[in-house]
Amino acid sequence: MPDNSVVVNLNQFERSRRAQVSSETLGMLHDSRDLLIEGATRVLTRQTEAMENTLLAMADRSPLLETRNSFYGAQGILNKQANELLSACKDAFFSSFNDFTLNREAPPAPELMELSLVGDQDFEITLAVDKATSRLRYNCAEELVALDARIAHLMGRSDLAENDNPLGPRALCEALLDGITRTQSEQSIRIVLLNQFDLVLTTELAGIYQSINRYLIDHGVLPELKVGAKSRAQHSSASAGHGAVSGAAAPNQQAGGDMFNLFEQLAGGGGASQGGGGSYAGGNVSAGAGGYSLLDSLSQLQTGAMTLPGGARFELPLLEASAIHNVLRSLQQSPVMQSASPLDAVLVDAVAM
């Protein structure tokens, strides 16, 4: 737009009218920022050795030399530059967070006439960030509902898009990738490291978001919104007594305990947030006519026949081991994987296990 134009750009006018946040609000935002990034880097530091062992194991199983080199390269960085790497990630997160609080917006998207094809490398990086963000958001959905509302309230906005939260998974994943990029230029290694960070944080980030929600509640930010601040371990307390009945089978189910607990939460989570009696009400949601629980029925089918309410018995058909064909294991050895990206190779390896 020429300098002597009389046309007013309403977007710039609206941005200039935005009220600056108060020092008290800014202090709460900074404290929340520190809780997130310090908690995330603490988890990553604690799990550095485990990530190294995972990468070495994946490299040993990989049939492709290029993929093995990416795994070994990522393991070498964690072994020799872990502190430098995590420090760069923290700096990148601080920088992006400051841009948000100072109303420094990202550059606008190009007009339709300026669109161009996306390069393969750019697309692969974008895909990796999208997958990491989706995985973290899925595992922290309850906590993020409350956190998005509280951050919007602090910033004086009516709502906040899920990817606009400066404390959200998208901002965190982009900061982690930015920090990794500052210490590693090879894209395949950057994607492997981001994927490892994401896998570690997937099980820990919900607890960090709970602590941020509790901090904001204690400081009077939407205290009536209790969702997202309560530890999920308490939600499954009602089912803990039921699980003790089958204690003799517990050692055999240890390996799948985390996944089983996740299904229990999904089955009983309908009333978990409705006050003191919510968890009891939610625990009965999965029980059908005659008091049969879906999870109990599935567990019974794993061990043998199941007795139906009418007295009939149902049993899964036996499968011959020779007739079972693991397609993904065959895919690992096929020429198709020669051109696969490191991210796709990691995904195939994980699902094939």
pLDDT value of position 336: 53
pTM to 2 decimals?
0.62
- The C-alpha torsion from 163 through 164 and 168 to 174, rounded to 10°, is 70
pLDDT value of position 93: 98
* Cα 205-211-213 angle, rounded to 5 deg: 105
CA distance 142 to 163: 15
- The DSSP secondary structure of 137-148, one letter per residue, reads HHHTHHHHHHHH
pLDDT value of position 230: 76
CA distance 21 to 27: 10
CA distance 59 to 68: 5
Residues of the chain with pLDDT under 70: 1-20, 104-119, 232-304, 308-311, 316-353
* Cα 147-151-154 angle, rounded to 5 deg: 140
pLDDT value of position 101: 84
Q: Is 78 exposed, middle or buried (0-12, 13-18, 19+ CB in 10 A)?
A: buried
pLDDT value of position 90: 98
CA distance 263 to 282: 13
CA distance 353 to 351: 6
pLDDT by residue (tens digit) across 202-218? 999 999 999 999 999 99
The closest alpha carbon to 42, from 230, 229, 205, 258, belongs to 205
pLDDT value of position 340: 60
